Amino acid sequence: MPNAPSETPRLVIKGVSKIYPSVIANDNVDLTIMPGEIRAVLGENGAGKSTLMKIIYGVTHPDKGEILWEGSPVTVQNPAHARELGIGMVFQHFSLFETLTVAQNVALAVPGRLDLAGLSRRIEEISGKYGLPVDPRRLVHALSVGERQRVEIIRCLLQNPRLLILDEPTSVLTPQAVRKLFETLRQLASEGVSILYISHKLDEIQELCHTATVLRNGRVTGHCTPSQETPKTMARLMIGEDLPTFHHGEPEEGREVRLRIDGLSVKSEDPFGVDLEDVSLEVRSGEIVGIAGVSGNGQQELLRAISGEEPVPDKRWIHVCGVPAGRMNASRRRALGMCFVPEERLGRGAVPRLSLTDNVLLTAFRRKMVRFGMIRRKAAKTFADDCIRLFDVKCGGAASEAKSLSGGNLQKFIVGREILQEPKVLVLAQPTWGVDVGAASFIRQQLLCLREKGTAVLVISEELDELFEICDRLVVIAKGRLSPSKATSETGVEEVGVWMSGMWPGAEPAKDEAPHVA
C-alpha cells in the first residue's frame, strides 16, 4: 500500500454528522484515505454508509463537521462540484437514464459543449484501457446490469478522478464478474486513484481492500486492516455480535409437488422487460428451492407470473397444489393456498399510508375478515396484533402506518402476515434485501420452521450466501431461462456463478446477444 507518512491524505473527514428528522444517519464520523488506497466502508443496512458517501459526493450536506480535500478544507456544493474536485461515484441504484444512449448518459456528467462523436471515441478509449467493454451508441435500457455498471464506471473515469466511490458494486454481478471488477479497481489504485468501497460482504473486502472503516448506527465503531482480520472479527465490529448460524435437516424424499411450473413462456409487455422462455420447475412439500441469478434476467417477470399479478395465457403452465392456475389472479391463487412476499415492501407488499390492520386485509381478508361485503375490522386487528407479537415487529401498534416502520420490521410484518395464513406454498423475493442482520436471520429461521411443517418454499434472491444457507435445491435464471436444479450440497458458488452467465450444461446458446450478465 503506497502510504508514505509524508504524503498528504487525499481526503480527511472530521466529525461529520447528519441528522434526519427521524434518524441520526451520521454521528461524528472520522475517515481518512490516502492516494492509491482502497478503503472499505463496512456496515449493515442503515448504518449510515450511503449517507456518508452522499455527503462526500455533494448530494447532501452535513449538519456538522469538516472535509479536507488534499489538505485544504472544502464544502462540496453538489455533485458537479465534486466531479470538478476529482471525486467520482458509482451508485448502487444506478443513476442512468434508460431511454438515452450510453454516450448521452456520459455526456450528462461531463461539462462543456455537447460533442457526442468525440465523447464516443473517448468512451471507447477508456473501455479499452481498463477492460470495460461497452458500445457508446446503445440505449441503456437494452444493456445488462453489468454493462450498466461499466457505463457508470466509465462515466467516472472520463473525468480522471482521484477518488472513486463505489456503493455496493458487486450486488449485481456474478462471482466471475466481481473478480474482473477487482482487477480494474486494483489497476486504478496502482495509478494513484483512491477508492472508497462500500459493502457489507466481508469476503470481498478481505480480498480487495487495504484498510476498512466500520460503521454501526451512524458511528464509526473501528478501523482495521482486513487482511489481518477474520470474517468473524469483522462481523463482530459490524453488528456488535457474532453472525448467527442455522442448522438444516435433510430433506425428505417423495413428498407431493405443491408448485409446478411447466413450459412457461411469456413475452414481456414492458419494452424494457425480459421474455421468459420455456421455464419449468417443481417445488415439493417440505423443501426450500432457491432461484439464483443476476438481477434483470427475468426474476421480476417470473415472480409476477407465479404470483398471479400477471396471469399467463395458458392455465396449465402453472399448477398450485395440483390445480391449473395459470390464468388466475393473485387473489384466486391465494385461495388455493399460495402466499407471496414481493421484493418491494412499500407500495406492493404493503400500502404505505394505511395502518397495519388495513394492510392485513390486503392478503389475509379470506380469514373471516369480510362478511356480506363489509369489513370486520376486529378480526383484522386481532390478526395484526398476533403478527406483531409472534414476529417481533417493532412498531407503535396495529394502528401505525406501514410507512412508519423500518425496512426490517416491515419485512417481518409482511412475512408474518403471509406465514400466519398457513400457506401450502410460499414464494419470496429477496426476503432479506436491505434488512438488518438480526431481522434477516429471524426471517431465515422462520422459513426453515415452515419447511419443517411441510410448506413448499420458493426463494428468489440475488444473495448467493443466503441461498446456500437455507435452500435444499438451487436453480439459476439467466436471460429468462431456467437452469436444471441441483442439490445445494452438490454444488458451490463457483459453479452457480458460471451458470449465472447462462452457461449451464445443455443450455442452448443465446440467440441474439450475450447473456444479461457482465
Partner 1 sequence: MQPSLLSAILFATIVAGTPLIIAAVGELVTEKSGVLNLGTEGIMSMGAVAAFAVTVHTGSPVLGILAGMTAGMAMGLVFAVAALTFMANQVASGLALSIFGVGLSAFIGKPYESQALPSVATWNVPGLHKLPLVGHAFFEHQGLVYFSWALLAAVAWFLYRSRLGLVLRAVGEAPVAAHSVGYNVVRIRYMAVLFGGAMAGVAGAFLSVFHTPLWVEGMVAGRGWIALALVVFATWRPARVMVGAYLFGGCMITQMFVQGSGMHLNIPSQFLSALPYAATIIVLVIISHNKATIRLNSPASLGQPFSPEA
Partner 2 sequence: MWLKFEQRPEPSRLMRYLSPLLAVGLMVASGMLLFHLLGKSPAEGFKVFFLNPVQDKYGVAELFLKATPLILCAVGLAVGFRGNIWNIGAEGQLLIGALAGGGLALHFHDTNSMLLLPAMIVAGALGGMFWAAIPAWLRTRFNANEILTSLMLVYIAELIVSWLVHGPWMDPDGFNFPQTRLFQAKATMPILVQGTRVNAGLFIALGALIAGWIFMNRSFMGYQMKVAGQAENAGRYAGFSARRTVWIGMLVGGAMAGIAGVAEISGPVGQITEHISPGYGFAAMIVAFVGRLDPVGIFFSGLLMALLYLGGEQAQQYLALPYSISKVFQGLLLFFLLCSDVFITHRIRWKK
> Which chain residues interact with partner 2 by CB under 8 A?
21-22, 307-309, 329-334, 340, 342, 344, 346-354, 358, 361-363, 365, 370, 373-375, 401, 404
Residue type, 444: R
Q: Which of 79, 231, 251, 352 binds partner 1 (CB under 8 A)?
A: 79
Q: Which is nearer to partner 1, 161 or 502 (CB)?
A: 161
Shortest distance, position 165 Cβ to partner 1, whole Å: 12
Query: Which residues pair with residue 87 across a beta bridge?
Result: 163
Shortest distance, position 97 Cβ to partner 1, whole Å: 5
Phi, psi of 162 (to 5 degrees): -105, -10
Cα distances (angstroms) measured from residue 342 to each of 40, 283, 431:
31, 18, 8
Residues with Cβ within 8 Å of 374's Cβ and at least 6 positions away in sequence, in order, are none
Per-residue x/- track, 89-118, partner 1 (CB under 8 A): --x--xxxxxxx---x--xxx---xx----
CA distance 246 to 51: 32
Cα distances (angstroms) measured from residue 68 to each of 12, 29, 38, 45, 340:
5, 13, 18, 27, 49
Q: Which is nearer to partner 2, 410 or 464 (CB)?
A: 410
Interacting partner of 373 out of partner 2, partner 1, none (Cβ under 5 to 8 A depending on kind): partner 2
Q: Kind of pairing, strands 219-224 and 211-216? A: antiparallel
CA distance 408 to 431: 10
Interacting partner of 358 out of partner 1, partner 2, none (Cβ under 5 to 8 A depending on kind): partner 2
Q: Which is nearer to partner 2, 24 or 243 (CB)?
A: 24
Under DSSP, the state recorded for 242 is P
Q: Which of 78, 160, 329, 489 binds partner 1 (CB under 8 A)?
A: 78
Query: Which residues pair with residue 29 across a beta bridge?
Result: 16
CA distance 283 to 212: 42
Shortest distance, position 129 Cβ to partner 1, whole Å: 23
Burial class (CB in 10 A: 0-12, 13-18, 19+), 478: buried
Query: Which residues, numbered 387-446, are part of the site for partner 1 (CB under 8 A)?
Result: none
In the chain, what is the greatest distance between 2 CA atoms, to the nearest angstrom?
80
Q: Which is nearer to partner 1, 74 or 514 (CB)?
A: 74
Q: Which is nearer to partner 1, 101 or 455 (CB)?
A: 101
Shortest distance, position 59 Cβ to partner 2, whole Å: 16
Which residue do the cell numbers 462540484 mark?
81
Q: Which is nearer to partner 2, 106 or 336 (CB)?
A: 336
Interaction of residue 75 with partner 1, rule CB under 8 A: no
CA distance 190 to 53: 22
Shortest distance, position 437 Cβ to partner 2, whole Å: 24
Under DSSP, the state recorded for 101 is B
Interacting partner of 330 out of partner 1, partner 2, none (Cβ under 5 to 8 A depending on kind): partner 2
Q: Kind of pairing, strands 194-199 and 38-42? A: parallel
Phi, psi of 165 (to 5 degrees): -110, 130
CA distance 329 to 333: 6
Interacting partner of 351 out of partner 2, partner 1, none (Cβ under 5 to 8 A depending on kind): partner 2
Interaction of residue 148 with partner 1, rule CB under 8 A: no
Shortest distance, position 334 Cβ to partner 2, whole Å: 7
Cα distances (angstroms) measured from residue 254 to each of 36, 283, 284, 499:
57, 12, 8, 27
Shortest distance, position 63 Cβ to partner 1, whole Å: 14
Interacting partner of 423 out of partner 2, partner 1, none (Cβ under 5 to 8 A depending on kind): none
User: Interface with partner 1 by CB under 8 A: which range of 65-73, 75-83, 395-403, 434-442?
Assistant: 75-83
Interaction of residue 23 with partner 1, rule CB under 8 A: no
Query: Which residues, numbered 219-278, are part of the site for partner 1 (CB under 8 A)?
Result: 269-272
SS3 248: coil
Q: Which residue ranges make up the site for partner 1 (CB under 8 A)? A: 54, 58-59, 78-83, 91, 94-100, 104, 107-109, 113-114, 269-272
